[in-house]
Amino acid sequence: MSGFMRQQQIEKLFDEPPAHYSEEHFRLFREFKDAVNRGEVRAAEPDATSPTGWRVNAWVKKGILLGFQMGVAVDMSVDPLRQPFIDKSTYPVRAVTAADGIRIVPGGSSIRDGSYIGRGVVCMPPMFVNVGAYVGDGTMIDSHALVGSCAQIGRNCHISAGSQIGGVLEPVGAMPVIIEDEVLVGGNSGVYEGTVVKHRAVLGTGTILSRSIPVYDLVRDAVYTAGESLPLVIPQEAIVVPGSRAVSHPVGAKHGLSLQCAVIVKYRDARTDSRIQLEDLLR
């Protein structure tokens, strides 16, 4: 089936749900989910004509949501008594074999079906990749890290321990979080609400990025915020650290209060590269 025909059928089935789903409907969904697993269709993809460099494929999100509508709750437990797992029948754990070239280190990690995991990806326990996510070749997802639904992670990134990459399924037109190639997300950082982190940026430990948190660029004397219809975009090679800004309201000033922000302190150079390079011996 061509991609265009699949898109038309997925959208029709989502927009006009039948009283009962037939085997043909389930076959269409399985073909769609397999294409997501192979990385052939994505919730968002690069688009040079877009201000952010990315466009949302709303029909893919519709297909993912369709799986929740079609599925029924089933027992997915390895041991129902000691550790029960109940989820929609359409979204089991993603099948992975040694031939896929993915390392999933023992210890409680989980990858949900309907997500793309590239070759050379390393999953340190425990971590979780949700449905619709895309993780590019050579990326490391460290312990206690989350890659949320439909988040797009590029090649050779490092999602450090305790980091949260936010997800989004609804509304279907909303931009998911985008982490481009060779980005380092420091430990205990959080990237949310469709933020786009461009190529080779570095987020220092504990950095939080969202639509409501401004980013102050000390190098370029600029302030980056999300627009009414555009997400927050972090420039390529920016090095971002947590910061704070004084509250101007009289009560805030009286008590010396400050609000959270993020600060770009420099842009990557050779010294930065030598300090943050991934340890090849671990691969």
Q: Say which CATH number the domain at 64 has.
A: 1.10.166.10
For the whole model, what pTM was predicted?
0.94
Q: Are residues 100 and 63 in the same domain?
A: no
Q: Are 188 and 207 in contact (CB under 8 A)?
A: no
Q: Are residues 60 and 194 in the same domain?
A: no
Is omega for the bond preceding 126 within 30 degrees of 0, making it cis? Answer: yes
pLDDT digits (tens, 9 = 90+) for 250-282: 998 999 999 999 999 999 987 777 767 655 656
pLDDT digits (tens, 9 = 90+) for 3-13: 778 899 999 99
Instruction: Count the domains in the chain.
Output: 2
pLDDT band at 283; cut points 50, 70, 90: low
Q: Are residues 27 and 147 in the same domain?
A: no
Which residues are registered as beta bridge partners of 267?
Answer: 238
- Full residue range of the structural domain in which residue 27 is found: 3-73
Is omega for the bond preceding 106 within 30 degrees of 0, making it cis? Answer: no
CA pair distance 206, 118, nearest whole angstrom: 27
pLDDT digits (tens, 9 = 90+) for 153-164: 999 999 999 999
In-domain check, residue 279: no
275 contacts: CB under 8 Å, gap ≥ 6: none
Q: Which of 45, 73, 101 is where one domain is finished?
A: 73
pLDDT score at 272: 72
In-domain check, residue 95: yes
| Number of residues assigned to the chain | 283
pLDDT digits (tens, 9 = 90+) for 48-85: 999 999 999 999 999 999 999 999 999 999 898 998 99
pLDDT digits (tens, 9 = 90+) for 110-144: 999 999 999 999 999 999 999 999 999 999 999 99
Q: Are residues 61 and 160 in the same domain?
A: no
Q: Are residues 122 and 239 in the same domain?
A: yes
Report helix angle 58-70 to 23-37, nearest 10.
Answer: 130
